């Protein structure tokens, strides 16, 4: 997936995270993360963002995230929304889940 423009998703509300993705000319994902629970969960949040982008095939991007105590599923959802918006794409890929 090619990041074409700035894409943002999420809010500053408690339990949410704002993920901002911007185009980058060189290879690699450069991530800047701010979180109230940085000490405890910073590495985990970063892992979820990086893995989500990797699954989408995003290899060049600046990512700026401000976390307000989001669960992993929220971090992944906001990263996906920001990435698709950045790529100006609606070719979503949904895997089978299993809520039930």
Partner 1 sequence: MLFVPGNNPGMIRDAHIYGSDSIMFDLEDSVAITEKDAARFLVYKALTTLRYGKKELVVRINDLSSGLGVADLEAIVRAQPDVIRLPKTDSAKDVIECEREIERIEREAGIPVGKTGMMAAIESANGVLNAREIAFASKRLIGIALGAEDYVTDLKTTRSPEGIELMFARGMIVNAAKAAGIMALDTVYSDVNNEEGFINEATMIKKMGFDGKSVINPRQIAPLHAVFTPSEKDLMKARAVMDAIAEANARGSGVASLKGKMIDKPVVARAQYLLEMAERAKTMTVEEI
Q: How far apart are CA 76 and CA 13, in angstroms?
A: 16
**Contact window for partner 1 (CB under 8 A) among 23-31, 37-45, 55-63, 89-97:** 89-97
100 lies in the site for partner 1, by CB under 8 A: yes
In the sheet with 60-67, reading across from the earlier edge strand, the strands are: 7-9, 17-22, 60-67, 28-35
Q: Which of residues 3-22 bind partner 1 (CB under 8 A)?
A: 9-10, 13-16
- State the CB neighbour count (10 A cutoff) for residue 10: 22
Q: How far is the CB of 30 from partner 1 (least distance, A)?
A: 23
**The only residue of 20, 84, 86, 87 in contact with partner 1, by rule CB under 8 A:** 84
């Amino acid at each position: 997936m090619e990041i074409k423009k700035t894409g943002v998703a999420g809010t500053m509300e408690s339990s949410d995270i704002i993920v901002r993705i911007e185009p980058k000319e060189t290879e690699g994902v450069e991530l800047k993360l701010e979180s109230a629970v940085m000490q405890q969960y910073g590495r985990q949040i970063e892992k979820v963002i990086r893995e989500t982008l990797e699954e989408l095939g995003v290899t060049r991007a600046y990512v700026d995230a401000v976390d307000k105590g989001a669960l992993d599923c929220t971090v992944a959802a906001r990263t996906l929304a920001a990435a698709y918006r950045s790529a100006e794409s609606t070719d979503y890929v949904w895997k089978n889940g299993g809520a039930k």
